[in-house]
Structure 1
Amino acid sequence: MSYRVCFVCTGNICRSPMAESVFRARVREAGLDDLVEVDSAGTGGWHEGDGADPRTVSVLRENGYDGAHIARQFHASWFSRLDLVIALDAGHLKALRRLAPTPEDAAKVRLLRSYDPAAGDDLDVPDPYYGGMEGFEECLEMVEAASEGLLAAVREQVEGRAA
């Protein structure tokens, strides 16, 4: 049975598809792609069916990641099939925990940057949507930095299941 991780931001066109693409690459590099499923969604459905923001796609491709994506909205019913729900900022964290059907489901929701020991007290990945390319590049740097710690945590969970 796969370990399932879902990244969530506001509209699922900037931060969460970026995190999904980066983390999927880390999972593949670690040889865990048969054991870990990675996807993403938004707290809202404004962009459902759309591709990722062109700036997200550009930054991903420039850095060797896959930019293919179709936006969708997160639903409370998904909690039952997910092991970890990764919020990109504190607003998403609160919204997802409110949406969680049970306290156990709420406990599955974590902030991405909580997996980056160098992040300090500011655990939000800022929304780059209303800015320029530098915001998307900064977003990618934050996602990459946190992905290593997240991968270690997921690997521990996957190996614990196998034991």
Structure 2
Amino acid sequence: MIFRSPDRPPEGISRREWRRRNVQATPSSTPPAATPVQAPILPTPFPQPATMDADDTRPTILTVCTGNICRSPMAEILLRARLESLGVRVHSAGTHALVDHAMTEPAQELAVEHGAGTDAASAHRARYLVEPMLKDADLVLTMAREHRSHAVQLMPSALRRTFTLREFARLAQTLSTEDARAAADAAGENPRDRLRAAALAVTGQRGLSAAVPDEDDVIDPYRRSRETYELSTSQLTPAIDDVERIVRAALA
């Protein structure tokens, strides 16, 4: 039996033809051209809310939650209903906002039951929390500690005017109306300075009342039962009372 070298052509085939066949059968050493990868489509910058104006001199409160469709808009429109006569501007945002979504129906219904206007409840549209909002705000009230941390990481200089809503209420309970007004008076006549001074006075109460971390949060009712919405509202609305008291002390 005759064994042929793999480098030699079979009988009846010339060396030139054998080489041609081998070249065609051998995979190319040049890698195929990469399939073009489409660049990710990035969201366009979300515009500033209509209530924001760099030249606005009104004292400003910002409320913050996750989706900006339950807790923070409820706090926003309840505070606006109570404080608009004092010239206070209130708006809200979400750390992971469902942009352009309305408030959920249970949140709208409960907000109206607790004093918000029907039009204000139905007009709300969710928006992202962005740094200019924090820079613009004289008082930042978040619905939970995770939102407070997010806000402060986004703008560390906002630390002393950023609270969870229930934390602010807890601290405000150890600050008298007279002391809040005195702190505002020391800041002068500018309403924004007065509100920031009152917020700073509330900050000074840290350590004077026992803190139970979970009790500083407003429970998230999103996609949960009506009972959970009612529980969330029952945590939120008493805290709104304390915010109103301090803001009135500073501005009324």
Under a length normalisation based on structure 2, what TM-score does the superposition of the two structures give? Answer: 0.56
Mapped partners of 1:77, 1:85: distance in 2: 12
Q: Give 1:62 shift.
A: 3.5
Q: Give 1:120 shift.
A: 6.2
| Contact 2:103/2:125 (8 A) holds in 1 | yes
Mapped partners of 1:48, 1:113: distance in 2: 25
Mapped partners of 1:87, 1:60: distance in 2: 17
| Residue 73 of structure 1: aligned partner | 128
| 1:62 is aligned to 2:118 | no
Q: Give 1:73 shift.
A: 0.7
| Residue 53 of structure 1: aligned partner | 104
- Percent sequence identity over aligned pairs: 30
| 1:126 is aligned to 2:219 | yes
Q: Give 1:24 shift.
A: 1.3
| Residue 112 of structure 1: aligned partner | 165
Counterpart of 2:95 in structure 1: which amino acid?
T
| 1:11 is aligned to 2:67 | yes
RMSD over aligned Cα, in angstroms? 2.0
Structure 1: unaligned runs, 5 residues or longer:
none
Structure 2: unaligned runs, 5 residues or longer:
1-56, 174-209
Under a length normalisation based on structure 1, what TM-score does the superposition of the two structures give? Answer: 0.84
Task: Select the structure of larger CA radius of gyration.
Answer: 2
| Residue 246 of structure 2: aligned partner | 153
Query: 4+ runs of 1 displaced by more than 6 Å?
Result: none
Higher relative contact order, structure no. (Cα contacts within 8 Å, ≥ 6 residues apart): 1
Tell me which protein shows more strand as a share of its residues.
Answer: 1
| 1:23 is aligned to 2:79 | yes
| Contact 2:81/2:115 (8 A) holds in 1 | no
Q: Number of paired residues?
A: 152
